[in-house]
Structure 1
Amino acid sequence: MVAAAPRATVHVGETAITFLPDGHGWLNPDVLFPASAPDGWSTHAAFLDDAGRFPVSIGAFLIRTGRRTILVDLGLGDVAFGIPGVADFRGGGLLDSLAEEGLTPDDIDTVVYTHLHHDHVGWTTNVAPAPNAPEGQRVTGLTFAGARHMVAEAEWRHWAGTDDPVGPHPYAVQASLAELVEHVGDGDEIAPGVRVLATPGHTPGHISLVVTDPAGASPDRLVILGDVMHCQVQVTESSWNFAFDVDPGQSVATRELLLKELEDEHTVLAGGHFAGHVFGRVLPPKSARAWQRGRVA
C-alpha cells in the first residue's frame, strides 16, 4: 500500500538535496482532482490506499551546497485536522527530521517558499494555524530566526491582507514576515547552483527551484517542483488539475511545458507531495509519458 514518503537524499555533484518529512495527508481523489471523476483512477489504483484515498507527503527540502544550508518550504506545522469528505492532515515532524540530519533551526541560512499555501508555511513561526486550533495563540517569533525568507513578489501580493484558510495566516505568517521577506523572480540565483524557475498556475507567484552542480563537474540537475504536481499520476495525466489551482488553464500549461523540458536522463524531479518516494525521473512518451522512481548517484 502506498504511503507518505520517508526522509531521503540525492546528490547533484557535491550538493545534497534531502526530503525532510513533516507529516502526511489523506485526500479524496475525486474531490481534489475533479477531472479524474468518475473512474479516472481505475488505471492508477496503485497510488491509492486500501480505503480509496490518495495519500500525500508533506515536508520540506533541505539543500546543502558549499557553506549554504537552505530550506525549501516549511511543511504543515504541529497540527492535525480533517475536512469531512475531503481530506485529513497531520504534521509536526519537520524539526525532528532536521535533527536527524544533525541540524537545528539555527543552522538554516535561507528559507525559500515555492508558494504560500498553509501546508508550505506551517513552521514559519511557533503558531501553525488549523481549523481546530485554539483562538488567540501568541506568535513568539520565527522558527528559523537567523534565516533570510524569500518568496516571489506576485505570490506575496496575491495573499497580502487576505484571511483565506488555504493561504498564509494574517498574523502567524503575513505579519511575521512583512518587514523582512525578500522577493525573488525567475532566473534569480539563491545560492551557487540553485536557481529560481517561475511556474505559475497553482498560485500566481508559484516558483520551482533548479539545482545544478556549481562546480560544473556533473551534468545532472534536480527540479524541486513545489505544487506543479501533487502526485506522480500527473506525469501521465498532465491535464488533471488540483482543486485549489488558482488558474487551472495556466497550471496545465505550466505542467505540460515543464514535463517536456524534463524528459531527460540527467534530470530528477522532487515532488514534495509525492507518496512512496519523492525523487524520480520522467520517461519520454512511447504511448504515454511515465514516471520512474529513481535517484541521482
Structure 2
Amino acid sequence: MSTFEERLRRTSLIRSLQLGDLKISYVPDGVVALKPYGWLPAATEQDWQDNAAYLDDDGNLVATIGGLLIEYGERALMIDAGVGPVSMPDDPGNERIGALRGGDLLGNLAELGRTPEDIEAVAFTHLHPDHLGWAHHLAPGSDRPAFGRAAYLFGEPEWTQRHLSAVNDITGEMLATMEPQARTVADGEEVFPGVRAMFTPGHTVGHVSYTISSGGQRLIVFGDALHSAVQIRHPEWSAGVDVDSVESTVHRRRLVKELQRPGTIGFGGHFADVVFGRVHDTADGPDWRPVV
C-alpha cells in the first residue's frame, strides 16, 4: 500500500502551508465514517471495487472533521468550527453515517499557538452540525461558546433560510446561540485579507466555498461540495444528503476545472489525511494528490 493510500484511510493530522503572506493550517476536531453506498448512492459495487483504495478496512470513507485557520500577521480567521465535544457510535440502521467523534479542535488550535479569543471571525461553509460545533458548544469552564468573541459569517441564502437546517439536527437552541454574532456575506465578498466568499449551492441552499489568494497563488476551500477525493474523478457522484444533486454536480464539475488551473491548491475539509492537494491530469482523468 502506498503512503497516499495509507493517508486515504486515516484521519488528518495538523497540516499547514504558506500561501504568500498567509499561513493556512488545518485544525482537526475529529472524524466520521461515511458509508459509501448510502453517502454516494450513484456509485455501484463495481465502482467501489475499482476505487477500494478510498475505503478503510471496514469499507467506509474516512471523513476528517475540523476547521481551517488562516493567519495574516497577528490576525486570524477560522473557516468552519468542527463538530465539538460529541461522539456517536455506529448505528447499523443508518445507511449513510457511521461512528463519529469530535472535541480535539481547541487542543489542536493551542498546538498552533492560538486561542479561540484570537479568532476575529468564523466563516462558515454551511449550516450542518459537523461545521458549527464550537460556535455553539461552550468552551471548557465557560458559559460562552468557544468562539464567543468572533463574528459568525454565513452566506446570505444559507442564513435567511436557516429554518431548513432543522432536518439536519440543527436545533433552534443552536441557532439562537449563534444569532447574536451572525452576519451574512454576499457572493464575492472579501471576509478577510485575501479571502472571498464563492457561492456553491447544492449541498445546502446557501453553501459557500472560499477562495484564498496571496503571493500569486490561490487556494479553494470547497467545503462539502466534495466529501471525498474520489469525487475529483467522479464529480457526478452527489452526496445522498445534497438538497439539490443537479446543482451540486454543476458546482463540483466547475470546481474540479478550477482546481486544474495553474497555481491552484484545494482544501477538502473531509478528505481524510489528504486535506490539501492539487488536481493532476492523468490518463484516467483528474486525480487528487496531497501537497503537505
TM-score calculated relative to the size of structure 2: 0.91
Cα distance between partner residues in 1 of 2:282 and 2:164: 44
- Kindly state the Cα deviation for residue 281 of structure 1 after the two structures are TM-superposed: 0.5
Q: Which moved more, 1:111-120 or 1:83-92?
A: 83-92
> Does residue 1:264 correspond to 2:261, yes or no?
yes
Name the counterpart of 1:148: 151
Secondary structure of the 1:227 match is helix
Q: Could you give the per-residue CA deviations for residues 142-188 of structure 1, whole angstroms, max 9, x where no partner exists?
A: 21111111101211122237632x243210x2101223311012110
2:172 to 165, 170, 173: 170
Q: Could you give the per-residue CA deviations for residues 80-120 of structure 1, whole angstroms, max 9, x where no partner exists?
A: 11352331100010000101011111111111110011100
Query: Could you say if the C-alpha distance between residues 115 and 167 of structure 1 is closer, same or farther in structure 2, counting changes exceeding 3 Å?
Result: farther
> Does residue 1:79 correspond to 2:90, yes or no?
no
> Does residue 1:255 correspond to 2:252, yes or no?
yes
> Does residue 1:278 correspond to 2:275, yes or no?
yes
Cα distance between partner residues in 2 of 1:114 and 1:102: 24
Secondary structure of the 2:158 match is helix
Cα distance between partner residues in 1 of 2:282 and 2:254: 14
> Does residue 1:17 correspond to 2:49, yes or no?
no
2:135, 2:148 within 8 Å by CA — same for their partners in 1?
A: no
Query: Could you say if the C-alpha distance between residues 271 and 294 of structure 1 is closer, same or farther in structure 2, counting changes exceeding 3 Å?
Result: same
1:161-240 correspondence runs (5 A) = 163-164=166-167, 166-171=168-173, 173-213=174-214, 218-240=215-237
Aligned length: 279
Query: Could you say if the C-alpha distance between residues 26 and 159 of structure 1 is closer, same or farther in structure 2, counting changes exceeding 3 Å?
Result: same
Gapped runs of 5+ residues in structure 2? 1-5
Name the counterpart of 2:37: 30
Name the counterpart of 1:118: 129
Cα distance between partner residues in 2 of 1:254 and 1:162: 21
Name the counterpart of 1:131: none
> Does residue 1:63 correspond to 2:65, yes or no?
no
Name the counterpart of 2:117: 106
Cα distance between partner residues in 2 of 1:162 and 1:197: 20
Structure 1: 4+ residue segments shifted above 4 A: none
2:47 to 13, 23, 40: 40
> Does residue 1:290 correspond to 2:287, yes or no?
yes
> Does residue 1:54 correspond to 2:61, yes or no?
yes
In structure 2, what residue type is equivalent to 1:221?
R
Task: Pick the structure with more helix per residue.
Answer: 2
Secondary structure of the 1:34 match is coil
In structure 2, what residue type is equivalent to 1:176?
T
Cα distance between partner residues in 1 of 2:166 and 2:247: 24
Query: Could you say if the C-alpha distance between residues 38 and 127 of structure 1 is closer, same or farther in structure 2, counting changes exceeding 3 Å?
Result: farther
Query: Could you say if the C-alpha distance between residues 169 and 140 of structure 1 is closer, same or farther in structure 2, counting changes exceeding 3 Å?
Result: farther
- Kindly state the Cα deviation for residue 127 of structure 1 after the two structures are TM-superposed: 5.5
2:29, 2:82 within 8 Å by CA — same for their partners in 1?
A: yes
1:160, 1:174 within 8 Å by CA — same for their partners in 2?
A: no
User: What RMSD in Å do the two structures reach over aligned CA positions?
Assistant: 1.7
Cα distance between partner residues in 2 of 1:114 and 1:179: 19
> Does residue 1:89 correspond to 2:89, yes or no?
no
Cα distance between partner residues in 1 of 2:186 and 2:199: 7
Name the counterpart of 2:162: 159
- Kindly state the Cα deviation for residue 42 of structure 1 after the two structures are TM-superposed: 1.2
Query: Could you say if the C-alpha distance between residues 280 and 117 of structure 1 is closer, same or farther in structure 2, counting changes exceeding 3 Å?
Result: same
Q: Percent identity?
A: 36
1:6, 1:21 within 8 Å by CA — same for their partners in 2?
A: yes
Secondary structure of the 1:190 match is strand
Name the counterpart of 1:135: none
Cα distance between partner residues in 2 of 1:242 and 1:43: 19
Cα distance between partner residues in 2 of 1:280 and 1:255: 16
Cα distance between partner residues in 1 of 2:164 and 2:188: 28
